[in-house]
Structure 1
Amino acid sequence: MQLYPTRTAAHLAVAGAAVVGVGLVAREPAIVGWGGAILVALALARAVTLVSVARIRAAGFEMLWTGQRRLVRTPRGGVVEIDAEVRNRDTLAARFVRLRAVASSQLDVSIHPDRGEVMASGRLKVKVVVRAPRVGHHGLHGLALEVHGAPGLFEVPLTFANPYGIEVLPRPFMAYLMQPRGGRSHLVAAVGRPGRARGEGDELRELREHQHGDPFRKIAWKASSRRGVLLVRELEREERDVVWVVLDASVELWAGPVGRAPLDFSIDEAATVATRHLGRGDRVGLVIFANGIRTLLPPDHGPVHGQKLAQALLVGCSTYDAERSDLDEADVAVRVLEHLRPLDAQGLSDVRRSDLDRLAARAESMRTRAPFAAAAPAGRSPRDRTLRRYLASYGIESPPRLEPDHRDVAVMLGEVFTTIARAKPRASIVHVMATPPQEVTTGPLPEALRRLTRRGAMVFWSTPDTEPALTPPWTPARHHDWDPDEQETAVPARDAFQDAAPIAAEAVLLRTRVAQARREAALRRLGVRVSRIRPISQHARAEHLIPPEPTPDGATGK
């Protein structure tokens, strides 16, 4: 239990020390006694605060979530309201000055009320409002309450560890999975191109004369009796596309504000394409790649497969793997230790900070209380995988690695396209959400694209907008902070830099645009239909400001 002095306590401590000093200099015992009395009173107030807070904790001051669920699902950008109760079982009222949430930084959390008083043997209902701007599994680990001790001089934060899971899905998948399913929606075939062909279906194609081998259940008896000829009903079935969605989940695409990174918009685009084709009854497959193929789901259809696609987008783009995370094993162990200590019955008093093996064993035993059933991420050792799995199970943030993935995008895409071309049933549409590689016309990529198009597949390529911002990287200095002798030369140099920096930034941006335009033109020459994923329109669409508008080539966000 930690105790922090307030500003009033700090001022009184400084004043008491100053009075004691003045009394010692003036050799006045009364002044020294006055200042000493202030310091003694502060010490007594601190002791009283510790005793009162210890009494509150022993009496059973606790926080509980209202309801039975410990996991809620919401679309990206959605808002979730969670009810909680703060209970005070003591015979004295407890006033708190701040109530905050201990949650992942990927969530925007606010609490109402955030300050007040819990009556003696009473309950205080609070509402936790959570906004989820990024897809993934995020944890709301509990609440922290700051209690005032003796007359506003000290504050003691009380942390209530009560894990709660927030599963954030792409908005298109959330709408798709909420739709009712059944009836004739299950009576469509899922192979081939859109069109109509003879077969077992529910639509009448024509009446024709009976031929040898026609089953008797197809005979139209009424029509046959009217015409005097044995007629059979010829039905037709709908054929559907086989669609592959290819998503680049490189770690550098997470760069940017939460909810506004290029990969945030690429996931939205992939979800939009997948749900649109699933709604038509098409079979949809998914490939997520970075340094290698991270996720490969064969094409299938139906709401159950939609659930699998949504979960694949949540897990396949995460940064819990050692090669994608900015945390090494020691950093992961620190986060596990801080999160596990309030959950453990003994407070990890029997686990030394350097004993990572024992910490991993204790974390594995506590994983049954986690809101998410996460698979073990890739790690550098079994112990590292166990600790990283604890982070993933509780939705504890693992920041992406700062260094980009070292891989050849053209080679990776060539392998992905080759895998799709060999897969059965044969692909009819391939949607790619990735930045075009530098070498488009050379290497394995052109041949893999030609192999797809020769098999009758149409390729659509959506590129995320990764243009650098033109924010000036400098901070103008103040003239009075500089040495007067250096100001004559420093001011012109600074002004020249400020004049040249926007020009250099504009030049970099122009080169980026020209390079991307050349790559897109090379893709078009290979028969690929290219479009841009616009962050502004996608963000507004996620907030229900702009409705989705399909383009002629099947892409969105042009």
Structure 2
Amino acid sequence: MQLYPTRTAAHLAIAGVAVMGAGLIAREPAIVGWGGAILVAIALARGVTLVSVARIRAAGFEMLWGGSRRTLRSARGGTVEIEAEVRNRDTLAARYVKLRAIASSQLDVRIEPNRGEVSASGRLKVKVIVQTPRVGQHGLHGLALEVHGAPGLFEVPLTFANPYGIEVLPRPFMAYLTQPRGGRSHILAASGRPGRVRGEGDDLRELREHQPGDPFRKIAWKASARRGTLLVREFEREERDVVWILVDAAVELWAGPLGRAPLDLMIDEASAIATRHLGRGDRVGLMILAPGPRATIAPDHGPGHGQKIAHALTVGCGTYDVDRSELDEADVASRVLEHLRPLDARGLADVRRGDLDRLAARAESMRARAPFSAPAPLGRSQRERTLRRYLASYGIESPARTEPERRDPAVIVAEALTHVARAKPRASMVYVLGPPPADGQPGQLSDAVRRLSRKAVRVMWTLPDFEPGLGPPWEAPRPQEQENDGDDTQRSVPSDKAFHELAPIAAEAVLLRARAAQTRREAVLRKMGVRVLRLRAATQAAQRAAVASSDAAHPPQG
């Protein structure tokens, strides 16, 4: 248990030392004794705080979540409220000055009230308000409060480890999956748009001569009598679209402010496309590419299939794999150790520092308490996979790698389109969401598009939008006095005021360059026969709402 002095205690300690110093200089024992008495009183206050907080902890100071569930679903950009209860089983009241949530950095969390008093043998209900700007499975690991001891000169942070999971779905899927099912109004017709294939249907395709095996009910008797030969009716079989959605989830597309990165918007757009076609009864397939196929879901229809696509878009673009994460094995182990220690009954006292094998075994045994059931991410060893799986199961964030993928994204998309061209059932529409091919001759991609065009497959490409990530508010650099640029010269970090003056100019310059490059690459796509699409208005409105909530949660400084 660690104690931290309050500002009052620090001022008293400084005053006591100053009084003792003045007494020694003046050679006045009374003044020296007075200053010493102040320091002794502070030491006694520290001891009293230790005893009182230890008594509270021994009596049973705990935190519980409201309800029986330990997971909650929310739409991206939404706000959810969770009730929590702090219980004090001691006979003395406990006053706390700060209550905060220990949560993933992918969530914006605030608590009401964040300060107050828990009465003796009483309980205090608090409201945890969570904003969800990014899809994924995120953890709310517990609460931490700072308790004041009896004199009020020292604070003691107390942590309540009580994992809670928040699964953030793309907004279009949240509405699709929660709508009522069943009833005559939700029964989909067995037929769809007219296709080019012969078969059972309602639209007449042609009249042809009778062949052995044709059913008599198809004979056109009046036409046969007029022409003097037996004719049968041939109908067009009505079929629904087979739609493939290809999402380029390259790790560099996570770059940008929380909730405003290009991949945030692309996931919303992919979800809007999927729900629109699933609502029509079309069969929808999904491929997530980064740098190769991370997830492949064959085309199908129905709400159950929609659940699969929603889950893939929620977790398939994550950054827990070793090739997508900025954390190495030592960093992962450090995060696991920090999170696991308050959950373990022995506080990991039997796990030596640096013994990663024992830590991985203990983490695997504690995974049953996790709110999520996550598959093992990629790792360089089985031990590292176990540790990374612990992070994913508890929703502990793993920052994206700063270095971009080295493989050409055009080649990756070309291979995926080739797979779609060979897949059964035959596709009728393909949506690609990702950056356009780089300047030059994208030969392999052009061949794949041409192969699909010969099969009457429409290829549509939606480009990522970098504008929201470059708009305000901008995150100022951390305050540092000076930085060394490597050649023994020192340069000062701009102040907040200078930063907010220069940020719009720099953002506008970057945006102009991005627009110019994107215009050139759009022309390359159109020459290949690809239809270039813009983001839907609904997706842009949802993005503006997310930006507005981000502005309200993080107002610009300076």
Normalised to the residue count of structure 2, the TM-score between the two structures is 0.84
**Structure 1 pair 391–504 and aligned structure 2 pair: CA distance change class (3 A):** closer
Equivalent pair of 1:77/1:542 in contact (CA under 8 Å): no
Equivalent pair of 1:62/1:86 in contact (CA under 8 Å): yes
Instruction: String of CA shifts for 1:429-479, please: whole Å, max 9, x gaps.
Output: 00111110214633311000100111111011110123584999999xxxx
Q: Which of these residues, 526, 529, 532, is aligned with residue 527 of structure 1?
A: 529
**Pairwise mapping of residues 269-348 of structure 1 onto structure 2 (< 5 A)?**
269-348=269-348
SS state of the match for residue 81, structure 1? strand
Alpha-carbon distance in 2 for matches of 1:101, 1:336: 18
Alpha-carbon distance in 2 for matches of 1:428, 1:319: 32
Equivalent pair of 2:194/2:236 in contact (CA under 8 Å): no
SS state of the match for residue 101, structure 1? strand
Matched, 1:37 2:37: yes
Residue type of the alignment partner of 1:316: G
CA shift for structure 1 position 151: 2.2
The equivalent of 1:538 in structure 2 is 540
**Structure 1 pair 514–401 and aligned structure 2 pair: CA distance change class (3 A):** same
**Structure 1 pair 531–182 and aligned structure 2 pair: CA distance change class (3 A):** same
The equivalent of 1:555 in structure 2 is none
**Structure 1 pair 146–173 and aligned structure 2 pair: CA distance change class (3 A):** same
Output the aligned Cα RMSD: 3.4
Alpha-carbon distance in 2 for matches of 1:433, 1:293: 14
Alpha-carbon distance in 2 for matches of 1:503, 1:67: 50
Instruction: String of CA shifts for 1:98-126, please: whole Å, max 9, x gaps.
Output: 11110011111111111111111111111
The equivalent of 1:513 in structure 2 is 515
Matched, 1:248 2:220: no
**Structure 1 pair 474–392 and aligned structure 2 pair: CA distance change class (3 A):** closer
SS state of the match for residue 163, structure 1? strand
CA shift for structure 1 position 289: 0.6
Alpha-carbon distance in 1 for matches of 2:68, 2:276: 34
Alpha-carbon distance in 1 for matches of 2:547, 2:148: 45
Alpha-carbon distance in 2 for matches of 1:69, 1:164: 9
**Pairwise mapping of residues 185-196 of structure 1 onto structure 2 (< 5 A)?**
188=189, 194=194
Residue type of the alignment partner of 2:140: L
CA shift for structure 1 position 29: 0.8
Alpha-carbon distance in 2 for matches of 1:413, 1:12: 67
Matched, 1:349 2:349: yes
**Pairwise mapping of residues 463-542 of structure 1 onto structure 2 (< 5 A)?**
463-466=463-466, 469=470, 509-533=511-535, 538-540=540-542
Equivalent pair of 2:260/2:547 in contact (CA under 8 Å): no
The equivalent of 1:441 in structure 2 is 441
Residue type of the alignment partner of 1:390: Y
CA shift for structure 1 position 525: 1.4
Instruction: String of CA shifts for 1:274-310, please: whole Å, max 9, x gaps.
Output: 1000000001011111121111111111111100001
Instruction: String of CA shifts for 1:26-55, please: whole Å, max 9, x gaps.
Output: 111111110001001100100110110000
Between the aligned residues of both structures, percent identity stands at 72
The equivalent of 1:481 in structure 2 is none
CA shift for structure 1 position 533: 3.3
Alpha-carbon distance in 2 for matches of 1:279, 1:445: 31
CA shift for structure 1 position 532: 3.0
Residue type of the alignment partner of 1:108: D
The equivalent of 1:116 in structure 2 is 116
The equivalent of 1:227 in structure 2 is none
Aligned length: 508
Alpha-carbon distance in 2 for matches of 1:212, 1:41: 106
CA shift for structure 1 position 79: 1.1
The equivalent of 1:373 in structure 2 is 373
SS state of the match for residue 464, structure 1? coil
The equivalent of 1:422 in structure 2 is 422
Instruction: String of CA shifts for 1:203-248, please: whole Å, max 9, x gaps.
Output: 899xxxxx987599x9xxxxxxxxxxxxxx9999742000000101
Residue type of the alignment partner of 1:65: W
Equivalent pair of 1:172/1:275 in contact (CA under 8 Å): yes
The equivalent of 1:413 in structure 2 is 413
Q: Which moved more, 1:11-20 or 1:441-450?
A: 441-450
**Structure 1 pair 406–10 and aligned structure 2 pair: CA distance change class (3 A):** same
Residue type of the alignment partner of 1:399: P
Alpha-carbon distance in 2 for matches of 1:123, 1:114: 15
Alpha-carbon distance in 2 for matches of 1:391, 1:125: 29
CA shift for structure 1 position 178: 1.2
**Structure 1 pair 200–368 and aligned structure 2 pair: CA distance change class (3 A):** farther
The equivalent of 2:227 in structure 1 is none
Equivalent pair of 1:260/1:535 in contact (CA under 8 Å): no
Equivalent pair of 1:171/1:542 in contact (CA under 8 Å): no
Instruction: String of CA shifts for 1:173-205, please: whole Å, max 9, x gaps.
Output: 111111223356566558x9655988678x899
Alpha-carbon distance in 2 for matches of 1:340, 1:500: 43
Equivalent pair of 2:194/2:237 in contact (CA under 8 Å): no
Matched, 1:49 2:77: no
Matched, 1:83 2:83: yes
Equivalent pair of 2:200/2:238 in contact (CA under 8 Å): no
**Structure 1 pair 101–545 and aligned structure 2 pair: CA distance change class (3 A):** closer
CA shift for structure 1 position 543: 4.0
Alpha-carbon distance in 2 for matches of 1:257, 1:384: 29
Alpha-carbon distance in 1 for matches of 2:509, 2:179: 49
Residue type of the alignment partner of 1:123: R
CA shift for structure 1 position 66: 1.2
Equivalent pair of 2:19/2:32 in contact (CA under 8 Å): yes
Equivalent pair of 2:269/2:539 in contact (CA under 8 Å): no
Residue type of the alignment partner of 2:523: A
**Structure 1 pair 268–342 and aligned structure 2 pair: CA distance change class (3 A):** same
Q: Which moved more, 1:265-274 or 1:175-184?
A: 175-184
SS state of the match for residue 21, structure 1? helix
**Pairwise mapping of residues 218-257 of structure 1 onto structure 2 (< 5 A)?**
238-257=238-257
Alpha-carbon distance in 2 for matches of 1:183, 1:236: 29
CA shift for structure 1 position 414: 1.0
**Structure 1 pair 333–195 and aligned structure 2 pair: CA distance change class (3 A):** same
The equivalent of 1:26 in structure 2 is 26
SS state of the match for residue 150, structure 1? coil
Alpha-carbon distance in 2 for matches of 1:237, 1:274: 24
Alpha-carbon distance in 2 for matches of 1:17, 1:134: 51
SS state of the match for residue 55, structure 1? helix
SS state of the match for residue 159, structure 1? strand
**Structure 1 pair 439–194 and aligned structure 2 pair: CA distance change class (3 A):** farther
Equivalent pair of 1:440/1:519 in contact (CA under 8 Å): no
**Structure 1 pair 199–125 and aligned structure 2 pair: CA distance change class (3 A):** farther
Matched, 1:459 2:459: yes
**Structure 1 pair 107–386 and aligned structure 2 pair: CA distance change class (3 A):** same
**Structure 1 pair 47–308 and aligned structure 2 pair: CA distance change class (3 A):** same
Alpha-carbon distance in 1 for matches of 2:475, 2:410: 32
Residue type of the alignment partner of 2:520: R
CA shift for structure 1 position 328: 0.8
SS state of the match for residue 404, structure 1? coil
SS state of the match for residue 164, structure 1? strand
Equivalent pair of 1:22/1:32 in contact (CA under 8 Å): yes
**Structure 1 pair 422–68 and aligned structure 2 pair: CA distance change class (3 A):** same
Alpha-carbon distance in 2 for matches of 1:334, 1:117: 34
Residue type of the alignment partner of 1:87: R
Q: Which moved more, 1:113-122 or 1:440-449?
A: 440-449
SS state of the match for residue 152, structure 1? coil
